[in-house]
Structure 1
Amino acid sequence: MRVAVGMSGGVDSSVTALLMKEKGHEVIGVTLRFHTIEACEVEGTHNVCCSPKDVQDAARVSQKLGIPHLTFDWERIFKERVIDYFVEEYSRGRTPNPCAVCNREVKTGYFARYLRAVADIDRLATGHYARIEEDPSFGRVIKRGTDRKRDQSYFLALVRREDLDLLEFPLGNMTKEEVRELARSYGLEVADKRDSQEVCFLMGKSPGEYLEKIVGLREGEIRHVSGKTLGRHSGIYNFTIGQRRGLGISYSKPLYVVDIDASTNTVFVGEEEYLYNDKLYVRELNLHVPMERWEDVSAQIRYRHSPVRVESVKRTSDGYEVKFREEVRGITPGQVVAFYSGDILLGGGIIEAYKE
């Protein structure tokens, strides 16, 4: 089987290439270059992937493994499909998940289709900590990674069902330390390379700092849910639902961001009780398993969020209503909701709202 391995220059993708070669596949290392500037270091932490330095590391690992390595300059595609989306969503008062969108639109699902079309590649293997397996009931599905602390299936909820046939995730049954040990045993120089910790194109900046450079200061009011004005802000892009710190206001009780109205450029704050809701709404659902076959469903509304049991998913005039069996804290428009049955990823969508 001809397998392309998406190589970011880190230990995960390097071991992925190693494992694919050990299985006897014809392996080609491929790297997508999204940035033409060097990666930055902030207080010693590597914050960017896919930089020129990472491309060099991927090429060196490929050479050591004895596999060809190709680099694709996709800076324009990445900007149009991920960065522009990120800016637009924050401008609407939402908190996007660019990594999940990138997996669908650029580096995972779309890239696998691209390689199949232009290079007759059978599969694209990536370093995601998730499993992709043949289920006797549902066919090819994504499952949570064995290492729950590293599980990245949530970020794959938007990947199209038809793309699952083109993907491999060899690290799904491994822990991070097992991956590093394997890299050390084969003498890969990236064995102890730091992981990327931030959204790659932010270059160490917060979303607010990054967006201020692009859209400028956009001052507006901070209001309590009762209607009282408590202060002013320099841009709604500095806030997200559930945020408590950095509000720049004083009040007799702890306050949290509970809503953002882009139409009036207003940030609404309130007591913690206002963060809890038992419903959310999505406009579209990306299904890996047909909905009529969903059973014992739980949902995850953020990457580090504990799954919550779902009572119902109902079709509405313009999307879907998801009702939980308990109230959930901090449902955030723009984030991804991923649905599971046990370890199986059923699908997902982008949260449109948490109230009618």
Structure 2
Amino acid sequence: MEKRVVVGLSGGVDSSTAAYLLKEQGFEVIGVTLKLSDVDECNIDKQVCCSTKDILDAKKVASFLGIQHYVIDWQDIFREKVIQYFIEGYKAGLTPNPCSICNRDVKTGLLAKFAKKVLKADFLATGHYIKTDVHFGQKVLKRGKDTQKDQSYFLALVEREVIDMLIFPLGDYTKEEVRSIAEKNKIPVSQKSESFEICFTAGKTPEEYFKSLNIPLKEGKIVHISGKVLGRHKGLEAYTVGQRKGLSVSWKEPLYVIEKNPENNLLIVGEKDYLLTDKVVAKDFNFLVPIEKWENVSVQGRYKQKPVEIESFDYKEDSITFYFKEKQYKFAPGQILAVYQNDILLGGGIIERSI
């Protein structure tokens, strides 16, 4: 009896090729497309996912492949789980990562449970560039073959119970190879450009997005780390830790955002060396591999960041402090800290602070 797999069919070349490969391998393939927002256009020349056009493209692909296809409207869930998280995070002075939260609570985590319970699927497949393997006596996620496209970082918060149901047909391919497969087999979206932006902001900066929602930004003081007031900021939502451009203040040396202080509505700035730290703290940690099995640990504080080697780590209650082998520039609080052992994803948490 052939295994049934639900494919998260976004209407892009990656998920469409994943569905094609699975059908070729003999799976019973069902395409599911999620309608998550009503954003159809980007205010810059970049593609966003989850638009009406994407849904229509997904329908074309499903028809071309001869597979069942469902469109599920989860806009309310997405608004509650992801958009509100994004808004509240920025208002709290953080730099939230909505894509990782979406994977945990909607696109991967919730869809896997829906596929199993409602569609009686054995697996959920996506077009992520991720590998799976068996280590430590369990299924694990690993970095994809294409190091420029590896997306394991975004799945660091997905629950352990979901991992066993996930398969990634593109893990052993490069983006060029995937596009070539799509073109060779005349998949309708083979020439479609990639999506780059956060889907619901339509290419807007956080500042622009908040203004579009009529959420006022509260101006405040820009303060040098020495205590000297240098000017006024537009609202803490417009800045992130490590930012240099757009501060609009004068100083004898280039200044960077060192910290955001939402309690007093202060933007703390200083010279680049003030960004250096020897540790980072992550909370709400999601263990994909038990901590007692960790060795040779490295961490990644943003997508495509070069992994940072860890000297040691200290787990207390709900947080883990990671001590760097060499000082690093601060990671932005609110971002995801993904933890690896070589190319194996061990888990992840939300960055609380870089001290």
1:197-208 matched pairs, under 5 angstroms = 197-208=196-207
The TM-score with structure 2 as length reference comes to: 0.97
Higher deviation after alignment, 318-327 or 178-187: 318-327
Alignment deviations for residues 178-209 of structure 1 (CA, whole Å, 9 cap, x no partner)? 11110011111211111111111111111111
Give unpaired runs (5+ residues) of structure 2.
Answer: none
Report 1:114-133 matches (<5 A). 114-133=114-133
Provide the rounded CA distance (Å) in 1 between the counterparts of 2:192 and 2:281: 40
> What whole-Å deviation, never above 9, does each CA across 1:277-321 have from its counterpart, x for those lacking one?
111112221111110000111111111211111122212355221
Conserved? CA contact 1:277–1:331, under 8 Å:
no
Give the distance between the partners of 2:346 and 2:293, measured in 1 at CA.
10
Match of 1:167 in 2: 166
1:319 is matched with 319
1:185–1:41: structure 2 CA closer, same or farther, 3 Å change rule?
farther
Q: Secondary structure at the match of 1:212?
A: helix
Residue correspondence of structure 1 range 293-312 to structure 2 within 5 A:
293-312=293-312
Separation of aligned partners in 2, 1:295 and 1:40: 43
Amino acid at match of 2:271: E
The 2-side partners of 1:213 and 1:233 are apart by 19
CA displacement at 1:49 relative to structure 2: 0.4
> Match of 1:6?
8
Partner of 1:62: 62
Contact 1:284 1:320 (C-alpha < 8 Å) held by counterparts: no
The one-letter amino acid paired with 1:218 is: K
Any idea what the Cα deviations from partners look like across 1:25-62, whole Å, max 9, x if unmatched? 1100000001224233623x22x101111000000000
Q: Equivalent residue for 1:243?
A: 243
State yes or no: 1:292 paired with 2:312.
Answer: no
- Give 1:169's aligned amino acid: F
Aligned positions of 1:58-207 closer than 5 A: 58-135=58-135, 137-207=136-206
Q: Secondary structure at the match of 2:325?
A: strand
Question: What is the match of residue 349 of structure 2?
Answer: 349
Q: Percent identity?
A: 50
Query: CA 1:330–1:354 in 2, change beyond 3 Å: closer, same or farther?
Result: closer
Which ranges in structure 1 are unaligned for 5 or more consecutive residues?
none
Corresponding position of 1:34: 36
Deviation of residue 133 (structure 1)?
1.9
Contact 2:283 2:350 in 1 (8 A): yes
Task: Give, in angstroms, the shift of residue 276 of structure 1.
Answer: 1.0
Q: Indicate if the aligned counterparts of 2:148 and 2:304 stay in contact, CA closer than 8 A.
A: no
**1: CA distance, partners of 2:84 / 2:344:** 31
What RMSD, in angstroms, separates the aligned Cα atoms of the two structures?
Answer: 1.1
Count of equivalent residues:
352
Post-superposition Cα deviations, 1:158-190, rounded to whole Å, max 9, x if no partner, equal: 111111111111101101111111001111121
Secondary structure (helix, strand or coil) at the match of 2:107 reads coil
8 A Cα contact 1:131 1:169, kept in partner: yes
Cα 1:167–1:86 change in 2 (3 A) is same
Q: State which drifts further: 77-86 or 187-196.
A: 187-196
1:23 aligned residue (22, 25, 40): 25
Structure-1 separation of matches of 2:88 and 2:211 = 13
Secondary structure at the residue paired with 2:38? coil
Give me the whole-angstrom Cα distance separating, in 2, the residues matched to 1:193 and 1:39. Answer: 15
SS of aligned partner of 2:118: helix
Distance 2:330 2:305 in 1: 10
The residue type paired with residue 251 of structure 1 is W
Residue equivalent to 2:278: 278
User: Which whole-Å CA distance do the structure 1 matches of 2:69 and 2:318 have between them?
Assistant: 45
Local SS of the residue matching 1:82: helix
- Shift in Å, 1:117: 1.4
CA distance in 1, matches of 2:24, 2:134: 21
Output one character per residue of 1:96-128: Cα deviation in whole Å (capped at 9) or x when no partner.
111111110100022101221122111110000
Change (3 A) 1:139 1:66: same
Give the residue type in structure 2 aligned to 1:69.
Answer: H
Taking a change above 3 Å as real, the CA distance of residues 262 and 41 of structure 1, as seen in their structure-2 partners, is closer
Distance 1:41 1:9, change over 3 A: farther
What is the alpha-carbon distance in structure 2 between the residues aligned to residue 3 and residue 18 of structure 1?
Answer: 12
Q: For residue 265 of structure 2, what is the aligned residue in structure 1?
A: 265
| Amino acid in structure 1 at the alignment position of 2:69 | H
Partners in 1 of 2:310 and 2:142 — Cα distance?
18
Q: Give secondary structure in 2 for the equivalent of 1:260.
A: strand
